[in-house]
Chain A
Amino acid sequence: MIARSVAMTIEQVAVRFGGLVAISDMSFTVGEGEIVSLIGPNGAGKTTAFNVMTGFLTPSAGRVTYRDTALNGLKPHEIADLGLIRTFQRTSVFPNDTVYDNLLIGLHRQGRVRLLDAILGLPSARASERKLRQRAGELIEWVGLERRAHDAAGSLSYGEQRLVGVALALAAEPSMLLLDEPVSGMNASETHRFVELIRSIRDRGITILLVEHDMPMVMTVSDRIVVLNYGRIIAEGTPELIRNDPAVIEAYLGHGAARA
């Protein structure tokens, strides 16, 4: 394996909700440009791990570091400013805005201009606005939603809304993208297209951490897999290794999936 520099380090993170231990002593790293999947049964703590990494939850113990910045105590928008962007397990769009306007909101980090410039409509503000609009158009094209661009995002199908969610995350110009079950609710052909999308995201140099229950997809797309069960990491390694790991088969994959 090629030695990569480390993008994200998770060190001994624990999360407790009252008496419930959602994550205990979780440690792993994600390399720059890598596609790592975080898998495990329902309730294993995958979304909770995402919430810790993106500042929506403060861990009870441990720390997360992204590109040499400790994330403890940072607010979600500050973490987003480091280029660490996530999507959500449940569909999450700005429902009353058009798809196009959704992306313009998502482009917030690129569109920062001075308040006075924006109000006076100075050339710098207008140039920035033109650039954002062009970029929004490109992103829509990229996820293949051109025909839905001017429909309210809330009126789209489930699968389409998931695509809007990913496009929104990409609009924020991530250097690392956390995807929480992006293909759930998509049909086979949509899923297939999405795998291509993930690969092309990685080809742009964006590091990806993926949570997904769709095992064929996880196995084809991942460089490395981390398996969680009851908040603990029970295995970590390449797809071939994980596919044949007895503990993983026992806890999650089942004996049928191992052959798939």
Chain B
Amino acid sequence: MKAVITILAVVALASVPLWLRDPYLLNALITTGIFVIGAMSLNLLLGFTGQLSLGHIAFFGIGAYVSALTSLGFDVGLPGGFRVVHEPWPPIIGLVFAILAAGLCGYFVGLLSFRVRGAYFVIVTISFAEVVRLVALNWVELTQGPLALTNIPSIALPLPGLSELTLRTKMQNYYLVLVVALIAYLLIARLVRSHFGRAMRGLMENETLAVSVGIDVTKTLTLAAVISAAIAGAAGSLYAHYIRIIDPEVFAFINTVTMVIMVISGGKGSLAGPVVGGLIFGLLPVALRPVMAPEAQWIAYGGVLMAILFVLPRGIVPSLAQRLTRRRSGAKALALTETGVEERA
């Protein structure tokens, strides 16, 4: 049942560029897809370990900058008169570096905050995002500061035998994002259903009991932070090579908030939750644009979020799933009593 829904959803998403020709809508879908990947990575932490990363956009932004700089090249002076010169490399290598760099940052943030428990992770992630934003803003020689990195090349896929396929059109980028999102989804699904995912759930539900059966808190949470950050880094890389311009505004707190809203509305701790929440809040601006000024839209988001949580308190996917199973088990119980009656009769 679940698998059927998943396959249908994938087929539906894959068919979109075949019938949707409006470049504006396709563009909205691509950026939404990129943020959905970010939201999925946030959900791995928030939904499956209970840790709130309020600086999650830092990993996304680091991925964006690392990928952009790898593919643009740079020439910067370091203290002591050294110069580091990097010639441009293919963007696809930038994507790999983005994943590694963001994952490494996730490792250090995790290591710093998971030794002491409580609100530390929230605080460390917020501070980390702010520090990274300031670096991006002020290390002008590397990042161009507020002037932005421009002319970031599009991702090109190396094709065996042939030369390369540079992904310039919207349709190509749509499929790129869809494929990366699918990989991220499957990765997270496999992870949370494995032995590691059970350790995460155990820690979230009853930490004392979990450690008493041998689950290592620091290791488990740090692992989740690394994978989550790495996926966010991949999303950032896609963003940089699609938008092709990146500035320190990418680190704005509001971007983290958007991802948190996507996760909470769709349902944290459910695999499909961030996808559903992400599609709603990613595409809401498209629907609201003709009727509302951008500033007023935030009020509308708040309203929509509250309405969703009022009707479906655990988020769209978990609450709906709960209702379905309740109805079905109700039907089953009824069927049982009926057969019981027949037998006795």
Residues of A at under 8 Å CB distance from B?
A: 54, 56, 75-77, 80-81, 85-86, 88, 92-97, 101, 104-106, 108-109, 111-113, 115, 118-121, 125, 128-129, 132, 168-169, 171-172
- Interface: B326 (CB within 8 A): no
One of A105, A128, A132 near B210 (C-beta < 8 A): A105
Given A113-B195, A119-B190, A121-B190, decide whether A108 and B206 contact each other with a Cβ distance below 8 A. Answer: no
**Other-chain contact of B205, A95, A111, A119, A120 (Cβ < 8 Å):** A95
A119 x B187 contact (CB < 8 A): yes
Within 8 Å CB of A119, what residues of B? Answer: 187, 190-191, 194
Do most interface residues of chain A lie in helix, strand or loop, or is the interface mixed? helix
Please report the C-alpha to C-alpha distance between residue A169 and residue B194 in the assembled complex, in whole angstroms.
20
Interface SS, B side: helix
B191 touches A77 (CB 8 A): no
A-side contacts of B191, CB under 8 Å:
118-119
Q: Are A92 and B209 in contact (CB under 8 A)?
A: yes
Binary interface encoding of chain B residues 196-213 relative to chain A, with 1 for a CB under 8 A from any of its CBs, else 0: 101101100110111111
Give the chain B neighbours of A112 by CB distance below 8 A.
195
A77 touches B211 (CB 8 A): yes
Contacts of A171 in B (CB 8 A): 213
| B210 vs chain A, min Cβ distance (A) | 7
Question: A100 → chain B, closest Cβ, in Å?
Answer: 11
Q: Within 8 Å of chain A (Cβ to Cβ): is B96?
A: no
The answer to whether A108 touches B211, judged by C-beta atoms less than 8 angstroms apart, is no
Q: Are B206 and A80 in contact (CB under 8 A)?
A: no
Determine whether the beta carbon of A56 is less than 8 Å from that of B208. yes
Are the C-beta atoms of B209 and A108 separated by less than 8 Å? no
A212 to B196, CA, bound (A): 35
Instruction: Let me know if A108 and B199 touch, CB within 8 A.
Output: yes
Contact B212 A85 (CB under 8 A): yes
Question: A168 and B214: CB pair below 8 A?
Answer: no
Chain A neighbourhood of B141, CB < 8 A: none
Partner of A109, one of B198, B214, B223: B214
Contact A168 B190 (CB under 8 A): no
Write out the residue numbers on chain B whose beta carbons fall within 8 Å of the beta carbon of A105: 198-199, 201-202, 210, 213, 215
Q: A85-B213, A119-B190 are in contact. Are A93 and B206 (CB under 8 A)?
A: yes
- A108 touching B195, Cβ below 8 Å: yes
Q: Which residues of B contact A (CB under 8 A)?
A: 187, 190-191, 194-196, 198-199, 201-202, 205-206, 208-217, 223
Residues on the B chain within 8 Å of A75, using CB: 211, 216
Instruction: Find out whether the CB atom of A80 lies under 8 angstroms from the CB atom of B214.
Output: yes
C-alpha spacing A238/B209, complex, angstroms:
32
**Contact A108 B208, CB 8 Å, known A118-B190, A119-B191:** no
Neighbouring B residues of A101 by C-beta, 8 Å: 198
Having A88-B212, A93-B206, A109-B213, one finds 16 other A-B pairs with CB under 8 Å, namely A54-B212, A75-B216, A77-B211, A80-B211, A80-B213, A94-B210, A96-B205, A105-B198, A105-B199, A105-B201, A105-B213, A105-B215, A106-B213, A115-B223, A118-B190, A118-B194
Least distance between A87 CB and chain B CB atoms (Å): 8
The answer for the CA separation of A75 and B215 in the assembled complex, in Å, is: 11
Residue of A nearest to B191 (CB): A119
Check B195 against A111 for contact (C-beta < 8 Å).
yes
Chain B residues within 8 Å of A96, by CB: 205
How near does chain A come to B194, taking the closest CB pair, in angstroms? 4
Given contact pairs A108-B198, A118-B196, A77 touches B217 in the complex (Cβ within 8 A): yes
Q: B213's contact among A115, A121, A129, A169, by CB below 8 Å, is which? A: A169
- Considering the complex, give the chain B residue whose CB is closest to the CB of A119: B190
- Pairs of residues from A and B, 5 with the lowest C-beta to C-beta distance, nearest first: A80-B214, A118-B194, A105-B202, A172-B213, A111-B195
Residues of chain B lying within 8 A (CB to CB) of residue A95: 205-206
Closest Cβ of chain A to B242, distance in Å, is 27
A108 lies within 8 A of B190 (CB): no
Q: How far is the CB of B221 from chain A (nearest CB, A)?
A: 12
Whole-angstrom distance from the CB of B195 to the nearest CB of chain A? 4
Give Cα A112–Cα B333 distance, bound, in whole angstroms.
39
Tell me the smallest distance from the CB of A181 to a CB of chain B, in Å.
15
Residues of chain A lying within 8 A (CB to CB) of residue B198: 101, 104-105, 108, 111
In the complex, the answer to whether B201 meets A94 with C-beta atoms within 8 Å is yes
Contacting pair B212 A76 (CB below 8 A): yes
Write 12 A-B pairs (CB below 8 A) sorted by A numbering.
A54-B212, A75-B211, A85-B212, A88-B208, A93-B206, A94-B202, A94-B209, A105-B198, A105-B201, A108-B215, A113-B194, A118-B195
Q: How far is the CA of A80 from the CA of B208 in the complex (A)?
A: 12
Asked whether A108 lies within 8 Å of B213 as measured between CB atoms, the reply is yes
For the complex, what is the distance from the CA of A92 to the CA of B212, rounded to whole Å?
Answer: 11
A186 CA to B199 CA in the complex, in Å?
29
* Alpha-carbon distance A108/B211, docked complex (angstroms): 10
CA distance A77 to B206 in the complex (A): 14
A118: chain B residues at CB < 8 Å are 190-191, 194-196
Residue of A at shortest CB range from B189?
A: A119
In angstroms, how far is the closest chain B Cβ from the Cβ of A73? 15
